[in-house]
């Protein structure tokens, strides 16, 4: 008996589509490192594209504008490395050399005695904390090792920074052509409209997200460095820079930065660590509930559970880089899903006017 008499054509198309999607997802998983590299290149292109668009008319050409922006960026990075880099490197090296001494302080419980004497703790309290540290040091060591492994993974992936600007040149130069080719592959008018709407929403979301992330990271770097320097915390430049960089990693980054600052302050015997803890909590609240909503605007509208799922899944798939990419990827999936619902309604009921789905269409323009 022929296969088509058992399985109708529509069911066969569905099965083939599912298999193709599964094959595509499998390919993306296998090539995830390369995909992540290209995604960072796209993000970098989104970051500097507004400057390129402003300069392409005065310099009479998009290629010249891209070259000029890259030259200015290279000059700025060189100046920062020349004037600020040595201090950060020196502090980071000194902090690294001190780590064995700090580890021994925690292992022996001497840190409890040092802090207790400065804070006026009783001898009995110092002894109890010292005994607690000695008893639980074996539980703390795996945590420290796990953090060290994550830091090493980030250090190994630093080479991406050199490839990202090179790949970004192609996206900056040929982005419009890429969009036209992609849209031209679709023949149906409604499907073409669907794809154009998705690309437009993704373009707006990614552009605003990247600029917002850079703004938040810059503000955190300045706030951390300035407060630590004024408060007299050792290694202020190194810790502040690390805090600004970790701001790019959603949820996990700021938490790790705050814990690192508190740990270093306690280990070096900083007497005003409660003030530092108060600052870290206050800054986190201001950053998350005052600054971030204003800077992000409506570009990323995710339920906390969706964001948490994306962060955990991204960490499992691609480590630290996956955590960073989780939020824009989840927001992109949300855009595709929303536009697909509108497309499905168009196919079912015909073209929609501006008032058919005011809530959906309004949010699509944010």
CB 277 within 8 A of CB 344: no
Tens of pLDDT along 103-148? 777 666 667 666 766 666 667 776 776 677 666 666 665 666 565 5
**pLDDT beyond 70 at 334:** yes
Question: Largest alpha-carbon pair distance within the chain?
Answer: 90
Give the per-residue pLDDT at 173. Answer: 81
Q: How many beta carbons lie within 10 A of that of residue 144, not counting itself?
A: 14
CA distance 144 to 137: 10
Residue 18 in any domain: the answer is no
Give the per-residue pLDDT at 358. Answer: 42
Residue 2 in any domain: the answer is no
CA distance 318 to 324: 10
Burial label, 194 (beta-carbon count in 10 A; 0-12, 13-18, 19+) = buried
Tens of pLDDT along 78-106? 887 787 778 788 877 777 777 777 777 76
Tens of pLDDT along 15-27? 777 777 677 767 6
Backbone φ and ψ for 356, nearest 5 degrees, come out as -70, -45
Residue 313 in any domain: the answer is yes
Q: At what angle do helices 189-231 and 160-184 cross, to 10 degrees?
A: 160
Residue 4 in any domain: the answer is no
The band of 175, judged by pLDDT with boundaries at 50, 70 and 90, is confident
Residue 20 in any domain: the answer is no
**pLDDT beyond 90 at 224:** yes
| Overall domain count for the chain | 1
Tens of pLDDT along 280-291? 999 998 988 888
Give the per-residue pLDDT at 97. Answer: 77
The residue segments making up the domain with residue 351 are 32-364
CB 309 within 8 A of CB 315: no
Give the per-residue pLDDT at 360. Answer: 44
Residue 21 in any domain: the answer is no
User: What value does the mean pLDDT take over residues 211-239?
Assistant: 89
Residue 273 in any domain: the answer is yes
């Amino acid at each position: 008996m022929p296969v088509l008499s058992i399985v109708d054509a529509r069911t066969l198309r569905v099965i083939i589509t599912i298999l193709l999607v599964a094959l595509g997802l499998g390919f993306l998983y296998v090539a995830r490192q390369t995909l992540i590299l290209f995604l960072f290149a796209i993000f970098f292109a989104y970051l500097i594209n507004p400057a390129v668009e402003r300069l392409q008319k005065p310099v009479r050409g998009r290629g010249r504008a891209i070259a000029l922006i890259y030259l200015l960026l290279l000059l700025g990075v060189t100046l920062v490395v020349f004037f600020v880099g040595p201090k950060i490197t020196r502090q980071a090296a000194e902090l690294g050399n001190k780590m064995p001494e700090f580890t021994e302080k925690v292992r022996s419980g001497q840190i409890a005695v040092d802090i207790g004497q400065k804070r006026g703790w009783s001898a009995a309290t110092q002894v109890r904390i010292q005994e607690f540290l000695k008893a639980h040091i074996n539980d703390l060591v795996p945590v420290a090792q796990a953090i060290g492994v994550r830091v090493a993974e980030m250090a190994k992936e630093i080479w991406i920074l050199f490839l990202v600007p090179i790949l970004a040149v192609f996206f900056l130069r040929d982005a419009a052509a890429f969009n036209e080719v992609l849209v031209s592959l679709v023949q149906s008018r409604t499907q073409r409209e669907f794809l154009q709407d998705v690309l437009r929403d993704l373009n707006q979301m990614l552009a605003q997200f990247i600029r917002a992330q850079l703004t938040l990271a810059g503000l955190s770097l300045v706030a951390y460095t300035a407060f630590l320097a004024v408060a007299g915390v050792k290694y202020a430049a190194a810790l502040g820079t690390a805090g600004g960089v970790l701001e790019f990693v959603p949820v996990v980054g700021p938490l790790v930065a705050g814990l690192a600052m508190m740990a270093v302050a306690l280990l070096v015997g900083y007497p005003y660590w409660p003030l530092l803890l108060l600052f870290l909590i206050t800054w986190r609240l201001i950053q998350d509930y005052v600054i971030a909503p204003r800077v992000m605007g409506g570009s990323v509208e995710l339920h906390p559970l969706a964001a948490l799922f994306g962060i955990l899944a991204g960490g499992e798939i691609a480590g630290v880089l996956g955590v960073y990419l989780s939020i824009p990827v989840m927001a992109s999936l949300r855009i595709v899903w929303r536009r697909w619902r509108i497309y499905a309604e168009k196919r079912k009921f015909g073209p929609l006017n501006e008032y058919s789905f005011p809530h959906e269409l309004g949010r699509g323009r944010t």
